Every structure is written in structure tokens, then in C-alpha cells.
Amino acid sequence: MLSRMEMLASVNERPKIAVVGAGPATVYLLYHLYQARLTSVDIDIFEASAYQGCGHAFNPETSYPNLLSNLHPDDIPSLPLNYYEWNAATVGGESFPPHSVLSRSTVGRFLAANFLWLIHELERRHVVINVYPDHFVEKLCESENGCQLQADGRWYVGYSAIVNNTGLINPAEGTPYPLDVYRYIGQPRFTIFGSSLTAVDAILTIAQANGQFAGEAQDLIYRPNYTYNIEVVSPSGVFPNLWYPSSRQWQITTMMKGRFTEELSSFDSLYEALCLPALACYCPDVYRQIARMKFETALRFLTQTYTCCEARRKLHCELLAFDAIESQGRFHWQEVIDAFLSLIETSGLHLNAVSIRQNNRFPHALTAKALGALPIESARKLLALFVTGTLNTRQGSMATSDAIKSYPHHVVMDCRGVKPEKREQGNNKQSAHAVKFCEVTTRIFAGSPHQRTNALTLPGLDTCNRLNRTIAKNLIDMTNGVNRALSTISLEGV
């Protein structure tokens, strides 16, 4: 143990790191710093809100109680607290059916508990951590003298590195979250633009505020308190595919790694050599149907966006298929595709993936539909809403916000999300995530998955974990004086 004098002396010499945002990405950053037994650094964490550890989507105060995550406890990437033990100690041990996912507020509480635990344990190792809640960071920059940032008009200087973990949403600009449901009770018409998970949240929040779900699983019915209608408008007209377990992905990944060779340099060759054989092995029925298709065609076929498809029928078929696959102990095709994309992202083959996206060939929105992982409980509720005629979907353009304004007698909710390509073109004013990839070596790291526009898979907690593991490694090398190329990003407009 260091004496106080020794500690102060070492404190004065040691590097300082700033972290912007205290959401899930930062929880994982702290976790990897903790795992690497980091001791000789000071960390300042700036968080725009009063909440620590949960970020936007999992905020227990604002994610309405019935909003579900797509995370089964086993899907949460490893953290220091064990979910089941934490759950038993805090809420008396709720038991989870095998195919049930957690509510987002529960995930948020769990993340927040880990955040506090990690800070406490790092401090015990003499890492000095200052958390600044209610501090909105307006500017980040890097100079020869180090990195600095401005929060609430004041400059904080002298950082060896800054990690930008500000997520997708700039708190200053507003967001569809939290859904201020109480304002909408009693309205006759709701129009929702977008059909992703955000839209599903909006639909279910309106439904829960204006009626009740009763019964179980297939027999679930909806009783509205009055007659009203929710119309969903989106280019595909369908909802994301169903949730799938990810705990078996290591099996698929191991198989794919075994087939990997140096010659595989294009996305198509990787797909043929790694993904198709895995589909043949784990999902033979699916493989037989798509064996001759290219990746994008196969994905369109599997997500039923290749031809026009009715959202209600798609949900119904998927729920039936899900029950059948699970009862036979088979794999879901999404597990294989997800494992394949994750493998590319993590295997140093990044550039191939990026070039696909730059040629506009990579179907990001399509992957979102394929791997969106709609919770089963939510899917059953959507079906119940279709049955009562409360919900209908329509394929249509939602290109401009003018289209949204042309529904004067409806409650209109914009659940389109932010398209990564838009952010890259520099025409977006959301300065908190105006991050652009370029070839410059910098000590400002982008750790929020939403800022990594070249990510192939959907940004969830697994991506937060992966990105921040790499950043933690870079930070540790840096504090140890290893001169390696750091994350290649620059900041624009901040």
C-alpha cells in the first residue's frame, strides 16, 4: 500500500483521462480498465444528466416500466456484478423464463449498480475518479499540450486522452425518448414514422396508456379503453425480426474461425467461405433456401423485405417459427448472421467492411431489420393490437420532416432514428456526436457504438463492450508509454 505522500507524488505525475458521458459505454470502459489492473491514472467523467451508468435507453426513471430490452440476463456482456446475485439481493430474486428478456429499466439499474461498484473499486486502487453530473460538454479539442474540453462554459485541460462516450442522442436536442405518454391519452389517431424498436416502444407505450393487455402468450388480447388507431408508416412496412438468443454464438464463431484463410479478402468471399457453411450446419432448412443467393439478397429474403409483406403475417409466422425452432433445440439464422458480422468487425478485417459501406452497398437498415431482435413479448402484443384493429402498418415514404407535418389531426411521432450516413455528411447539427473517421491519429477516442458509423452489426451493449475493451487497451498502453497508433478519428464542428 502506498503512503499518502507517495500517493500524492505519484498523483501529480500521472496522466489524466477525461470521459464524456456516463452511459453503458463508460461502464464497459471502467470495467476493462479495472480488469487490466489500472492504477496510475486520474479519470474525470462528465455527464450531461443527473443519471450515472444507464445512459438514455436504460434510464430507470424514463423508460416506462413495460418497455422491454432485447437482453436476456445471459446476453448482457460480462460485468463485475453477477446479474442473478444482484437481482436476488435487490429485488428479491425475480425468476426469468428461459426466453424472456429484461425490462430496460432493470438493465439500467443493473448497469448503474456496476458503475458505482467499479468507481468504488478503482478508487480503492488509488485511481482518482471525479464524476461531474449535470455537466454538458460543449467542445473537445486536442493540441500539442494535450486534450481539453469545455463544459458549461469552463475549460478542463491537461488530459492525455479523452473518450467520447456521448451516445446517439444529444440531450440538448430532444429525442423521442422519454415518451411523454400522458400527453397522448385519449387521442383518436396516432401516426408513427419508422418501424424499428423505437417505433415499437412508442406503439406499446400508447397502447398501455390507453388500454390493457390480458391473457398469456398466444392467447394475449388487447382491450382498448376507447376506439383509437395507430398507423405505422415506414419504407419496409414491417417490424424488425424476433429476438434470438446469443449465448451460443461462440459455437458458430469457433466454426467460422476454423475456416478462415488469408486469401479471403472481400466481403463476398468471406460470406461464402464462413457464413454459408455455418448456415448449412446450424440452420439447414434456411440454408437450402438461400444457398445460391448473395448476402444482401439472402438478407432481404430472410427479413421478408424482398417482396411486399404484411407486417401482421410476418409477426405471426415468426412467432410460430420461433416456438418450433426452440422446441427442437435448433439455431436461429440471425444467430449465425450476427456471429458472422461480429467476427468481421473484430478480426482486423475492418477495412473490407468499411469499403462495402462506403460503396453504399452495405444494407445497414436491412441489417437493423434482420438483427433488430424484437422481444417476443412485444411481438405478441403487436399481434394483439393488429387483431383488435388498433394497429395498422403502411409502406410509405418518410423522407422529410415536412411529410411528418402534413398530419395535422394526428399525434405524430418521429421514430426514424438517426441514419449514420447522414451524420457523416456533416449536415447534421448534433455536435455531441459529430465524429468522423479519418486517417489522423488522435488521442480522442470514440467509444459510443453509435459514433462508429462503420460498425456492421447493430450497436447494443455487446458493441459498447467491444469498442471500450479496445480503447481501454490503448489507454493502458499509452499510460505505460507504448507509442502505438491510436483510434483513428477526428472531431468535426465541436
Q: Which residues bind ligand FAD (CB under 6 A)?
A: 20-26, 46-49, 55-57, 69-71, 136-137, 165-171, 177, 197-198, 201, 432, 448-449, 459-461, 464
Q: How far, CA to CA in Å, does 283 sit from each of 99, 297, 298, 314, 320?
A: 19, 17, 14, 19, 16
Q: Which is nearer to ligand FAD, 390 or 448 (CB)?
A: 448
Query: What is the nearest approach in angstroms of ligand FAD to the Cβ of residue 21?
Result: 3
In the complex, the smallest distance separating the C-beta of residue 136 from ligand FAD, rounded to whole angstroms, is 5
d(CA 76, CA 72) in angstroms, rounded, equals: 7
Which regions of 427-473 does DSSP assign to beta strands (E)? 435-437, 444-446
Q: Nearer to ligand FAD by C-beta: 240 or 276?
A: 240
Collect contacts of 3-11 with beta carbons under 8 A, ≥24 apart.
7/126, 10/40, 11/42, 11/128
φ, ψ of residue 258 to 5 degrees: the values are: -65, -20
Helix 333-346 and helix 364-371, axial crossing angle in degrees, nearest 10: 130
Q: 44 or 47: whose CB is closer to ligand FAD? A: 47
Query: With respect to ligand FAD, which residue has the nearer C-beta, 24 or 245?
Result: 24
In the bound complex, what is the minimum distance in angstroms from residue 367's beta carbon to ligand FAD? 14
Cell numbers describing residue 346: 473484430
Residue 306 CB, shortest distance to ligand FAD, in Å, is 26
* Smallest distance from ligand FAD to CB 389, Å: 26
At position 12, the amino acid (one-letter code) is N
**Least distance in angstroms from the C-beta of 69 to ligand FAD:** 3
- Which one, 55 or 298, has the nearer CB to ligand FAD? 55
Please identify, using beta-carbon distances, which residue of 184 and 260 lies nearer to ligand FAD: 184
Residue 45 or residue 230: which is nearer to ligand FAD going by CB?
Answer: 45
Residue 48 beta carbon to ligand FAD: minimum distance, rounded to whole angstroms: 3
Q: Which residues of 280-306 are buried (b: 16+ CB within 10 A; e: fewer)?
A: eebbeebbeebeeeebbebbbebbbbe
C-alpha cell at 245: 438468443
| Residue number, 142 or 272, with CB nearest to ligand FAD | 142
Closest CA to 300 of 392, 378, 235: 235
Q: What separation in angstroms does the CA of 468 have from each of 433, 445, 473?
A: 16, 9, 8
229-234 and 391-395 strand pairing: parallel
Strand partners, 395: 234
Tell me how far CA of residue 355 lies from CA of 74, 171, 339, 379, 442, in angstroms.
33, 32, 20, 35, 22
Minimum gap (Å) between residue 263 Cβ and ligand FAD: 34
**Residues forming beta bridges with residue 414, ordered by sequence position:** 193
Residue closer to ligand FAD (CB basis): 63 or 303: 63
CB of 479 to ligand FAD, least distance (A): 22
